[in-house]
Amino acid sequence: MLLDLAAGVVLIVGSLACAAAAFAGRPRIAWLLAAAGLACAAAAELLDTNDESLAVASCVLVTAGLTLIVLRLYPDVTRLSWLDAAMGASSTAALAVALGAEPAPAVATGGVVGVIALTRWSPAVPVLLALAGVAVLGAGEAPAPAAAALIGTAAWLPAQRRAPGPEFSPVVLSALLLFAMIALTLLTVGQFAEVSDVAVALAIVTVLTGMARAGLTVVERLRESRHHAQTDDLTGLGNRRHLVDRLDAAVASCEENGEELALLLIDLDGFKELNDTLGHHAGDQVLRQIGPRLSTLLRAGDTLARLGGDEFAVLLPATSGEGARRVAAALADRVRATKLAPGQPVVRLDASVGVADFGSDPLPTVDELFAAADAAMYADKRRSRHVG
């Protein structure tokens, strides 16, 4: 009786430590959940009941609090991380149930593995310490006071935001294979021997989650591949392929809605001399500046792309010829204002801008747009040289 009372007091002290941390600038809801979890464990000790519900509740509440802490410390948690956490939690809980574990240990096991998977297997020290406390809570009433010390200490440890580990690494891949193997093994054994219905249900959840993860991974890899195929490596702008796709869509919109469109080709005058004088590194630095500088003059639906070398293009949907020429003049002025970093020589650049504008009749092809803009750009370049 005295031991139960002492254990309950220790758990209450741990709960108060978590609650105090919640009101001392730590993640409030997260540590309040942890405090509630320890309070449930204290109630189980003091009431000296064999009811598993309090033990399960304590594990669930602390795990939920730690999940919120992970989301705060790891702001870039992805959908794949959530699926990994679901796979880890369901498969390990299924294994624990199949081996005859009581509900509390099964919940604690799944919660610990799920939270670690959510961090991409790189848990911060406070999270790791508190997870150890969850594992102790699931182990039973006797070691529960140790959980109060672990979780109460974790509540006061400093923790900084950090990036999750890579989505694909040997550790992640090995963990996913292990989770899938556990689930498939349980389902296979279930065909020949008696396996808990709960374990089978959790194993099915693991398999379905794994299938969803595989499908999402394929979709994201295809999206990334398409993005890289349409992105200029140096500037991060769209490339020629991206521009052509947008042009096709804009021409189709002209045909359907009777809108106007304009294509601008921009060539940097003096860029070769800059490269020859200051080197290609300085030239690359200028090219990287062009995108951010010109983008501020464009609308959300406009497209800025780098075609290669020192040539850029701007697609202006629903824009008249007069409006396109105003934009061209503003873009040229912005190019002339381009400078290197402080302390570097002043870069004197100019821009030749060719404007091709078309209404809906006659409808141009993409090649006709490029040809017209290219001709206009070289005409502007010759005119600038003559004026100069």
Query: Which tens digits make up the pLDDT trace of 42-77?
Result: 888 887 766 789 999 999 999 999 999 999 998 888
pLDDT of residue 15: 92
Contact 288, 368 (CB under 8 A): no
**pLDDT of 306:** 93
Q: Minimum mean pLDDT among 20-34, 172-186, 287-301, 358-372: which range? A: 358-372
Closest C-alpha to 119, from 108, 110, 130, 128 = 128
Tell me how far apart the alpha carbons of residues 24 and 81 are, in angstroms, rounded to a whole number. 30
pLDDT category at 361 given cuts 50, 70, 90 is low
Mean pLDDT of 262-273: 88
Q: What pLDDT band is residue 363 in, cutting at 50, 70 and 90?
A: low
Q: Are 131 and 112 in contact (CB under 8 A)?
A: yes
72 burial via Cβ count (<10 Å: 0-12, 13-18, 19+)? middle
Structure tokens at 326: 């105003």
Q: What percent of the chain has pLDDT over 70?
A: 92
For residue 100, give the DSSP letter. T
Percent of the chain with pLDDT over 90: 48
Q: Which residue has the higher pLDDT, 309 or 61?
A: 61
- In this prediction, residue 33 has a pLDDT band, given cuts at 50, 70 and 90, of very high
Element (DSSP H or E) covering residue 306: strand 303-308
CA–CA dist 249, 247 (Å, integer): 5
Asked if residues 240 and 350 have their Cβ atoms less than 8 Å apart, the reply is no
pLDDT of residue 265: 94
Does pTM top 0.75 for this prediction? no
What architecture does CATH give domain 240-387?
Answer: 2-Layer Sandwich (3.30)
What sign does the CA torsion over 252, 258, 259, 260 have? Answer: positive
Retrieve residue 340's tokens: 């290197």
Token couple for 194: 């008696």
pLDDT of amino acid 160: 83
- The residue ranges of every structural domain in the chain are 2-228, 240-387
Which string of DSSP letters, residue by residue, matches 214-268? HHHHHHHHHHHHHHHHTB-TTT-SB-HHHHHHHHHHHHHHHHHH---EEEEEEEE
The pLDDT, as a whole number, for residue 386 is 56
Greater model confidence, 212 or 142: 212
Average the pLDDT over 19-39 and give the result.
Answer: 92
pLDDT-derived band at 89 (thresholds 50, 70, 90) equals very high
Residue 362: asked if its preceding bond is cis (omega within 30°), the reply is yes
Report how far residue 303's alpha carbon sits from residue 237's, in angstroms, rounded to the nearest whole number.
9
Element (H, E) at 85: helix 79-98
Give the pLDDT of residue 110: 97
